[in-house]
Amino acid sequence: EDVVEAQEAVDHFKGEPMRHPALIRRADKPFNGETPPSLLTEKFHTPNDVFYVRNHLPVPQVDAKTYRLEIDGINLTETTFSLQDIKKFPKVSISATIQCGGNRRTEMGKDKVVAGLGWTGGAIGNAKWTGARLVDVLRSAGFKPEAYKHAKQLHVKFDGLDTDQSGECYGASVPLSYLLDGNFDAILAYEMNDKPIPIDHGFPVRIVLPGIVGARSVKWLSRVSISEEESQSPWQQRDYKVFSPSVSLETVDFSAAPPIMDTPVTSYICSHNNGDKVKKGPVKLQGYAFSGGGRGIVRVEISLDKGKTWNVARISDTANLESTKNWSWVLWEANVNIQANAEIWVKAVDSGYNQQPEDFNNIWNYRGLLSTAYHKIYLEAR
Amino acid sequence: EDVVEAQEAVDHFKGEPMRHPALIRRADKPFNGETPPSLLTEKFHTPNDVFYVRNHLPVPQVDAKTYRLEIDGINLTETTFSLQDIKKFPKVSISATIQCGGNRRTEMGKDKVVAGLGWTGGAIGNAKWTGARLVDVLRSAGFKPEAYKHAKQLHVKFDGLDTDQSGECYGASVPLSYLLDGNFDAILAYEMNDKPIPIDHGFPVRIVLPGIVGARSVKWLSRVSISEEESQSPWQQRDYKVFSPSVSLETVDFSAAPPIMDTPVTSYICSHNNGDKVKKGPVKLQGYAFSGGGRGIVRVEISLDKGKTWNVARISDTANLESTKNWSWVLWEANVNIQANAEIWVKAVDSGYNQQPEDFNNIWNYRGLLSTAYHKIYLEAR
Ligand SMILES: [Mo]
Ligand SMILES: [Mo]
């Protein structure tokens, strides 16, 4: 208990930035806040100040002038880059959705409790990310994709400047194979929606790994390394893995599942909440749909009769800029005619024709991750 | 009717090869036959003579000595290759599953009729495919991946030597972006399980596009072309597309859905049939699980109580040879204790944490394609 008191005496969170009052707080230290879902459909690119914030550790204070990024590892020459160095590489923009692995967790936890922050459907956002291509910067440190062709088991590790009280930093990694895919747009981003990246989102530089669960897009990036091992951080090794419904925290074998990378197809109704009262007659539903791995959304479907019949929703355009893959969500809308109390179901189909599961029972996992079943809300007609 | 008689007078199928009697015939002209599911779990690599056969047209007679492959299209020098020319490129082997888009169609058609061949779960097989890398051969015709980086809308077209009565050949295409992914192993295959490719499977050369629906792995390959348009064949433009449950052949807008490429995660019980009688006590279940896009299978789960509880099955090793991706199915087995009549459910989770839908109602489509819901069988205990 002496230790606890000593820790409390130093407030590791005293330098935290201001947050927009619209963000719904899910935790204070570290700060975690989600966007009210109704705001998400207002703009294709979520505004910076209401973009959901997922911090695992205190926000670090970083001086752009002294900031340095280190690159090292297998087949690379150890090289250090200032922010100005990074800005000298060709400036590239992608439109990409970042989603927390726990988005929509509260739905999975309704029937059987799950551990984790109580996100509804707002732990997701879509932004324009601008910066240097990771592969361009790596090439200047000697990276040659051909040199790794048969290296099945290599990883690209990312370290953040945010640290825990023992000095361990936030960390994540992805299989090196991602960087061997010429369609993958990993960006060392220094702008978010045409502004310098806000402090909460990784100022001055974060890695943006599109199509991959948000936890790998490390903020306040300090180091990129090609390694024979994955990041050994708890977020890589334990927290962002999905186990069988039969597994509990007591029985889990962490090595039995891979860390989450590409996320599965999901969809959400943002315009209405479960239990809302609506006037009888036409109702306009709005929401988002997203799939990881650069898979686009082929269609979004709505059912008012628990799946007996489905109608296809209208999809807004996606703005993919230079990408060959679909890194962004789609926003959708559907006009329905409500004449009596109704349960509304939404589901999406991605370009790999992946479908969402119908409910949460069979995908339940004790951490409440990848909670991607149909979104179902009940509307009361008045 | 005169025309019909004239056509029947010429038997376009008289040169067809012999087929193994174990293959279950689903159509005669053209020949289509599936592997009895119980044979599929005997070997990781399905033997050539019982590998399912999906022909869309009469089998062409091809002389290996006069065989030529033509390469042409955007940024390429038109080049012709003999079989000997193709064999001069580095010889590469991959282990890859090929699956018909209609595999398991009969399950989807149980409650509401679907159009297409009546496949059960045997329109799938896994083989070792050996040949030249498509990109190696293309490079010798001037292909440079960098030249296409910003070409979002290009396609690689494949023509077969099999033709309909008007002379139109079988054809398919895939987005060029596949070839920009250094992890993608497209093979101009001339061997199947270390033997020359059998006539029914494309002798002397077929393209093998792993992770992609079988219909794109064109057999008796005559031409590869980089083009601004997709293949205009009916199999690309109409037959292998998945529409909403609300769409029928009468209302379909063929442009509303993309052609199937990567296939979603599926699983199947091969050891038992629906309705089988088993002795009370331990029962060993066996089957396969597969996902497209090079996604591996993370786990296979079995439920004996309609999803209330799940148990993880044992997975056999996959032999991926040189690939960074998982192009092969897994075979799995599970010992269960049957004491009363039981409904057995199996589902799989892939490395993108994609899940199967629970039943067919909500993924129903009039062609019965991508019938990938949980496999459910009823066992009677004696
Ligand atoms: Mo997250
Ligand atoms: Mo097929």
Q: For chain B, say whether A245 makes contact (Cβ under 8 Å).
A: yes
Residue B96 pLDDT > 50: yes
Contact A165, A12 (CB under 8 A): yes
Would you tell me which residues 126-145 of chain B have a C-beta closer than 8 angstroms to some C-beta of chain A? Answer: 145
Pick from B293, B276, B147: which is nearest to B216 by CA?
B293
Position with higher pLDDT, A236 vs B1 = A236
pLDDT at B291: 97
pLDDT at B11: 80
pLDDT at A319: 64
Q: Using pLDDT thresholds of 50, 70 and 90, give the confidence band for residue B14.
A: confident
Q: What is the mean pLDDT of chain B?
A: 94
Q: Which of A182, A246, A257 sits opposite B149 (nearest CB)?
A: A182
Distance B217 CA to ligand 2 centre (A): 9
Which residues make up the environment of ion ligand 2, defined by Cβ < 5 Å? B 54, 100-101, 214-215
Long-range contacts of the stretch A38-41 (C-beta < 8 A, 24+): A38/A270, A38/A271, A39/A122, A40/A121, A40/A122, A40/A124, A40/A125, A40/A270, A40/A288, A40/A331, A41/A270, A41/A271, A41/A286, A41/A287, A41/A288, A41/A331, A41/A333
pLDDT at A6: 47
- Chain Cα centroid distance, residue B203: 17
Residue B238 pLDDT > 50: yes
Distance A124 CA to ligand 1 centre (A): 9
Q: Compare all CA atoms of chain A with the CA of B292 and give the residue at the minimum distance.
A: A352
How far apart are the two ends of chain B, measured CA to CA in Å? 56
Q: Compare all CA atoms of chain B with the CA of A300 and give the residue at the minimum distance.
A: B244
Low-confidence ranges of chain A (pLDDT < 70): 1-9, 149-151, 317-322
pLDDT at B4: 45
Q: Using pLDDT thresholds of 50, 70 and 90, give the confidence band for residue B12.
A: confident
Note whether A353 contacts B370, CB cutoff 8 Å.
yes
pLDDT at B262: 97
* pLDDT, tens digit, 9 for 90 and up, residues B115-173: 999 999 999 999 999 999 999 999 999 999 888 866 678 999 999 999 999 999 999 99
CA-CA-CA-CA dihedral for A320, A213, A70, A59, to nearest 10: 110
Which residues make up the environment of ion ligand 1, defined by Cβ < 5 Å? A 54, 100-101, 214-215
pTM beyond cutoff 0.90:
yes
> Which chain B residues touch A361 with a CB distance below 8 Å?
307
pLDDT at A4: 45
pLDDT at B3: 45
Number of H helices, E strands in chain A: 6, 22
Q: For chain B, say whether A255 makes contact (Cβ under 8 Å).
A: no
**CA-based angle B192:B195:B200, to the nearest 5?**
60
* pLDDT, tens digit, 9 for 90 and up, residues B335-350: 999 999 999 999 999 9
Distance CA B118, CA B335 (A): 30
pLDDT at B75: 94
pLDDT at B150: 63
Q: Cα separations (Å) of A29 from A15, A26, B154?
A: 12, 10, 49
| Mean per-residue pLDDT, B259-265 | 98
Q: Which of A112, A355, A359, A374 to mutate to test the interface with B (most CBs of B within 10 A)?
A: A355
pLDDT at A116: 94
Distance CA B271, CA B119 (A): 17
Tell me how crowded residue A43 is: count the other CB atoms within 10 A of its CB.
Answer: 12
The ligand whose atoms approach the alpha carbon of B102 most closely is: 2
> What is the ipTM, given to two decimal places?
0.94
Kindly state the DSSP code that residue B300 receives in the 8-state scheme.
E
Contact A145, A158 (CB under 8 A): no
Distance CA B69, CA B56 (A): 21
Distance CA A311, CA A305 (A): 11
Contact B164, B112 (CB under 8 A): no
Question: Strand B68-73 relative to strand B221-227: parallel, antiparallel, unpaired?
Answer: parallel
**CA-based angle B93:B94:B96, to the nearest 5?**
145
* pLDDT, tens digit, 9 for 90 and up, residues B291-328: 999 999 999 999 999 999 999 999 976 666 567 899 99
The token duo for A96 is 């990409």
> Which chain B residues touch A245 with a CB distance below 8 Å?
301, 309-310
pLDDT at A151: 65
Contacts of B202 (CB under 8 A, 6+ apart): B189, B218, B219, B220, B221
Would you tell me which residues 175-204 of chain B have a C-beta closer than 8 angstroms to some C-beta of chain A? Answer: 175, 177, 180-183
